[in-house]
Structure 1
Amino acid sequence: MYKKIFSHTAIYGLAPQIPRIAGIFILPIITQYLTEVDFGVYGLIVAVVGAMTALSNLGLNVVLSNSFYKSPMQHKWAWRQIYGFLILWQIPYTIMLGLVIYFIIPEEAAENTWLIILLNTIPVVLFGPTSFLCAKYYQLQERPMPIAIRSMLIGFLSIGLNIYFIAVLRMGYIGWFLSVSIAQLCDQISYWIPLNRKFKLTPIFNFKRSFIKKQLKISLPSVPHFYSAYLLNTSDRVIMKFTNVTIANIGLYNVAGTVSSVVQSGVNASGLAIGPMLLKAYKNKDERLARNIIFFLQTIVLFGTFLISLWLKEIFFILIKNDSLQKVYPLGIILIMGYNYRPMYFGANTRLFYYEKTKDLLKVSFIAGLSNVILNFIFIPIFGYEAAAYTTFFALMYMGYVGYFLKAYKAHCTLEYHPLKWLSITLLLSAIVYYLVEIPVIYKICISVILILVLIFLLKKMIIKF
């Protein structure tokens, strides 16, 4: 089992991260031709589009996963009907997306309003939920390689386009939007062929309304849950605009998240790897295996984020060739350590998904997202854009651990996961690394070697439990 966790996490996480990491290393090339305003405009629009993405599938991924495991002989019929429904849903969704972008675009980008809207909506209009459905099908089949190959190829395509549009043609933030739009179109095309031809998951437009209504009753309560993830990760940029933070400072905050976004993607990818394993463990009533998987992943993530944060000052000074953009690495540490919430979050909330307790998810994710928004409105006007990193960290910790205290969770759990102990460790390590980042490099090397040896020792002990 541990080998599958390593291999699938490597394929889901590391393979797609190769172009992302390569993308970080092109920062010295493109940051010479970008300003705080470019980062601000792009970060703000990406935040808005990310928030809207939660509405694109109406939470039906919950139904897709459950039908795959609970109705193995009939799941394709269900998937095809959902496919047809979601394609029709993309019409009003695209209109809403375009309107939101129109009203949120800052003055600095007003001259390119319609181009930005077009570049962000074309992939949705032409292909709708195609890539989402096909990637989900591969994941549930525990076949990460097709997803990883596409992620790598599309990632490298995006990198090449970024260099061309930003460094060669000097198009600024428009170069980013062009790159993303072209890359998304290629990604959708690559998934359309296997989804419709190989898996025969063609859309049924004459779907049974009673069936869709039944599925929506299950899925819609989870929409605020998925939407809250975007409230946590991206709402801060939008709130900054409404609290009169300058586009330049929004850009600085976006720079702070350049490395943390890669860490976030890697941690989220580990969830794709362990998700099917946890569902199987729940199905087989193997609680000990489920807990071992969570503890194993949480240990790796804690050590990994600590080491990255320890070296973040040096990473920023190497990659960011812009003096005004280099100074925000302390905020990057807060954001990176915040993503330690994710493994323990999987432990509680995957169970709630499996037992279709989607309404209880609101107590976890929606409150976390709402608290982040409220705290941002309170503290950003007082302490500036830097406050957003700390409010996000607080909300992520809540989201990662509160699920263990819900009645719906306790009703289906027979083993203790020790959430308060893991939370205390995360808070302690976050405080320590925030100050250690300033120590001399020679001490950082010694600490890193010791931590890697300790990690190897702990993982060996955990592997025995599998």
Structure 2
Amino acid sequence: ENTMMIYVFVLMSSMRSLCSQFVRAKGYVKLYAIDGLLSTATTIFFNVLYLVVLKWGINGYMLAMISADTLSTLFLFYVAGLRRYLHIRGLNLSTSREMLRYSIPMIPNSIFWWVNNMASRYMIAYFMGEEYNGLFAVAYKIPTIIVLMSNIFMDAWQMSAVSDSPDKRASFFTRVFLFYQSLICTAASGLILFSKVITMILVSDSFYESWKYIPLLLLSTIFSCMSTFLGSVYMVEKKSMLNFITTGIGAVINVVLNFLFIPIFGVNGAAFATFLSYFVVFVLRVIDTRRFIPMHFHPMRLTFNTLVLLAQAFIMIFEVKGWIFFELILTVLMVVANMSALLATVAQLLLKRRPHPQHHEE
């Protein structure tokens, strides 16, 4: 009975996305940010109105989302004057074909990415039952901290990647990737160290056991984020088919390894299968993207970071005697190894923001 409302919800969500991305692409960054704040405020307002005051239940929740997206669409459309860009006579078949060639492979790519993220849960439920699936789902919430950091970074990064001049892209991608992997690996190292404490604070006692699955899920998230970063190369070069192919290979590997590992290793078998699938996607993209942008991946640093995180994961999972000491040492090593890259990028950003001295002629 909610089908029609779902259609309207998807329509208005898509319209808001279209308007906000167009505004962002036109360089109206402040308007884009203001819309984000207003959209959050109106979503909260309509949820309170429809759910708490009027008590409309699930229909109220969907209407709240529809109302907020509709207001956001109208706000962006009129404030940014998007009507100026609507010209029926401006439809161009060659441009439309080019857009479709780019867009259509992104649909199965999104499906395969969903398979990579969700296949483990269905197979854990099948092999081990809903109780373990619930623990796995709770454990997955901690790596979303890394995903949140990555999404904020990628929002800013993708615009820079597209607008940067082709002759400078290799050095630009290299610098950004070095900072990006240093940032998320250091964050993951800290989260592994405090995984027990975080779980104790954030979840109920009945789900405390979920901490055992956090370390390997953090590793899989790291390589998922770095694979997404390299997907930016395909975006810049408009090679969406390669994006789809590499993601598809990862999804197939994930499903196969889940079937093999879960019966033997349990829930952590699923986490390890997910890690390996994302690792394969990352390696494939490292090899392939160099054809388009010959960036340097700093393999020694990347190998060191991966080995440290793997060591932390297994020390934590098996609760090796004196594990706190080993975890602290490895986290400090991770911070020391990556601090120079992080500080260099922060210093560069601060220098760019510093106003240039004014020169006055006498």
TM-score, scaled relative to structure 1: 0.60
Distance 2:185 2:88 in 1: 46
Q: How far did residue 375 of structure 1 move?
A: 2.2
Counterpart among 404, 407, 416 of residue 296 in structure 2: 416
Deviation track 1:156-193 (CA, whole Å, cap 9, x = no partner) reads 88789999999x9xx9xx98x77964563354224312
Task: Give yes or no for the alignment of 1:189 onto 2:70.
Answer: yes
How many residues are paired up?
342
Counterpart among 19, 34, 40 of residue 134 in structure 1: 19
Q: Which has the higher contact order (CA 8 A, sep 6+)?
A: 1
Q: How far did residue 128 of structure 1 move?
A: 4.8
Deviation track 1:349-387 (CA, whole Å, cap 9, x = no partner) reads 322222222222233211112221232234335544443
Q: Decide whether the 8 Å contact of 2:147 with 2:225 is kept in 1.
A: no
Q: Which residue of 2 aligns with 1:233?
A: 117
Q: Which residue of 2 aligns with 1:296?
A: 179
Distance 1:257 1:162 in 2: 26
Residues 440 and 259 of structure 1: CA distance in aligned 2, closer, same or farther (over 3 Å): same
Q: How far did residue 418 of structure 1 move?
A: 3.7
Distance 2:291 2:175 in 1: 20
Q: Decide whether the 8 Å contact of 2:19 with 2:77 is kept in 1.
A: no
Task: Give yes or no for the alignment of 1:315 onto 2:202.
Answer: no
Task: Give yes or no for the alignment of 1:123 onto 2:9.
Answer: yes
Distance 1:362 1:120 in 2: 27
Q: How far did residue 285 of structure 1 move?
A: 3.3
Amino acid at match of 1:137: F
Counterpart among 272, 278, 291 of residue 390 in structure 1: 272
Distance 1:423 1:184 in 2: 44
Distance 1:141 1:343 in 2: 27
Task: Give yes or no for the alignment of 1:222 onto 2:103.
Answer: no
Q: How far did residue 400 of structure 1 move?
A: 2.3
SS at match of 1:416: coil
Amino acid at match of 1:131: R
Q: Decide whether the 8 Å contact of 2:188 with 2:218 is kept in 1.
A: yes
Residues 445 and 357 of structure 1: CA distance in aligned 2, closer, same or farther (over 3 Å): closer
Q: Which residue of 2 aligns with 1:5?
A: none
Amino acid at match of 1:136: Q
Deviation track 1:38-86 (CA, whole Å, cap 9, x = no partner) reads xxxxxxxxxxxxxxxxxxxxxxxxxxxxxxxxxxxxxxxxxxxxxxxxx
Q: Decide whether the 8 Å contact of 1:282 with 1:290 is kept in 2.
A: no
Q: Which residue of 1 aligns with 2:250?
A: 368
Distance 2:118 2:292 in 1: 33
Amino acid at match of 1:359: M
Distance 2:334 2:82 in 1: 49
Amino acid at match of 1:185: I
Q: Which residue of 1 aligns with 2:132?
A: 249
Q: Decide whether the 8 Å contact of 1:401 with 1:419 is kept in 2.
A: no
Distance 1:444 1:183 in 2: 45
SS at match of 2:296: coil
Deviation track 1:203-244 (CA, whole Å, cap 9, x = no partner) reads 778966665344212321233223222122223334445x35
Q: How far did residue 313 of structure 1 move?
A: 0.7
Distance 2:221 2:28 in 1: 25
1:208-219 matches, cutoff 5 A: 211-219=95-103
Amino acid at match of 2:257: L
Structure number, greater radius of gyration: 2
Distance 2:45 2:332 in 1: 35
Distance 1:159 1:236 in 2: 33
Q: How far did residue 303 of structure 1 move?
A: 0.6
Distance 1:368 1:456 in 2: 31
Q: How far did residue 258 of structure 1 move?
A: 1.6
Residues 210 and 447 of structure 1: CA distance in aligned 2, closer, same or farther (over 3 Å): closer
Amino acid at match of 2:271: A
> Aligned-residue CA RMSD in angstroms?
4.1
Shifted more, 203-212 versus 232-241: the winner is 203-212
Distance 2:48 2:130 in 1: 23
Amino acid at match of 1:265: L
Distance 2:102 2:225 in 1: 24
SS at match of 1:411: coil
Shifted more, 202-211 versus 307-316: the winner is 202-211
Residues 262 and 217 of structure 1: CA distance in aligned 2, closer, same or farther (over 3 Å): same
Counterpart among 299, 306, 320 of residue 426 in structure 1: 306
Deviation track 1:392-446 (CA, whole Å, cap 9, x = no partner) reads 111122222321212xx33333443245751552243233244258568798778
Shifted more, 292-301 versus 261-270: the winner is 261-270
Q: Decide whether the 8 Å contact of 1:236 with 1:388 is kept in 2.
A: yes
Q: How far did residue 312 of structure 1 move?
A: 1.4
Distance 1:314 1:303 in 2: 18
SS at match of 2:174: helix
Q: Which residue of 1 aligns with 2:207?
A: 325
Counterpart among 66, 82, 93 of residue 200 in structure 1: 82
Residues 257 and 348 of structure 1: CA distance in aligned 2, closer, same or farther (over 3 Å): closer
